[in-house]
Amino acid sequence: MQNQLRRGYAQNIFSVLGFYFTIFTHNPLTLYRLYAIPYTLSPPLLYNGSMKTLLIGANGQLGSDINKVFSADSAYQLIPTVREELDITKTEDIQNALKKYSPEMIISTAAFHRVDVCENEPDKAYQVNALAISALAKICHAQNIILVHFSTDYVFGADKKRNRPYTEDDNPGPVNAYGISKLAGEYFVKYLSEKYFLIRTCGLYGIAGPAEKKGNFVDNIIAKSNEHKEISVVNDQILTPTYTLDLANNLKELLKTQNYGLYQFTLCPFR
Ligand SMILES: NC(=O)c1ccc[n+]([C@@H]2O[C@H](COP(=O)([O-])OP(=O)(O)OC[C@H]3O[C@@H](n4cnc5c(N)ncnc54)[C@H](OP(=O)(O)O)[C@@H]3O)[C@@H](O)[C@H]2O)c1
Q: Is the pLDDT of residue 103 over 50?
A: yes
Atom of ligand 1 minimally distant from the CA of 150: 45
Residue 30 pLDDT: 42
Residue 165 pLDDT: 85
Answer yes or no: are the C-beta atoms of 28 and 167 closer than 8 Å.
Answer: no
Residue 33 pLDDT: 42
Ligand 1 site, residue 89, Cβ cutoff 6 A: yes
Model confidence pLDDT, tens digit, residues 19-38: 222 223 334 444 434 444 44
Residues sharing a CB contact under 8 Å with residue 34, sequence separation 6 or more, in sequence order: 242, 246, 247, 250, 265, 266, 267, 268
For the chain, which residues make up each domain, given as ranges? Answer: 2-265
Ligand 1 site, residue 64, Cβ cutoff 6 A: no
Determine whether 76 is an active site residue.
Answer: no
Model confidence pLDDT, tens digit, residues 181-198: 999 999 999 999 999 999
Ligand 1 site, residue 109, Cβ cutoff 6 A: yes
**Model pTM score:** 0.85
Residues sharing a CB contact under 8 Å with residue 242, sequence separation 6 or more, in sequence order: 34, 201, 202, 203, 204, 205, 265, 266, 267
What is the CATH number that goes with domain 2-265? 3.40.50.720
Q: How far apart are CA 150 and CA 152, in angstroms?
A: 7
Q: Is the pLDDT of residue 41 over 60?
A: no
* 196-201 and 105-108 strand pairing: unpaired
Q: Kindly provide the b/e burial profile for residues 162-190, where b requires at least 16 CB atoms within 10 angstroms of the residue's own CB.
A: eeebbeeeeebebbbbbbbbbbbbbbbbe
Q: Out of 83, 166, 212, give the residue to mutate to test ligand 1, the one with the largest number of ligand atoms within 8 Å of its CB.
A: 83
Given the residues 35, 76, 126, 178, select the one marked as catalytic: 178
Entry field: residues in the chain: 271
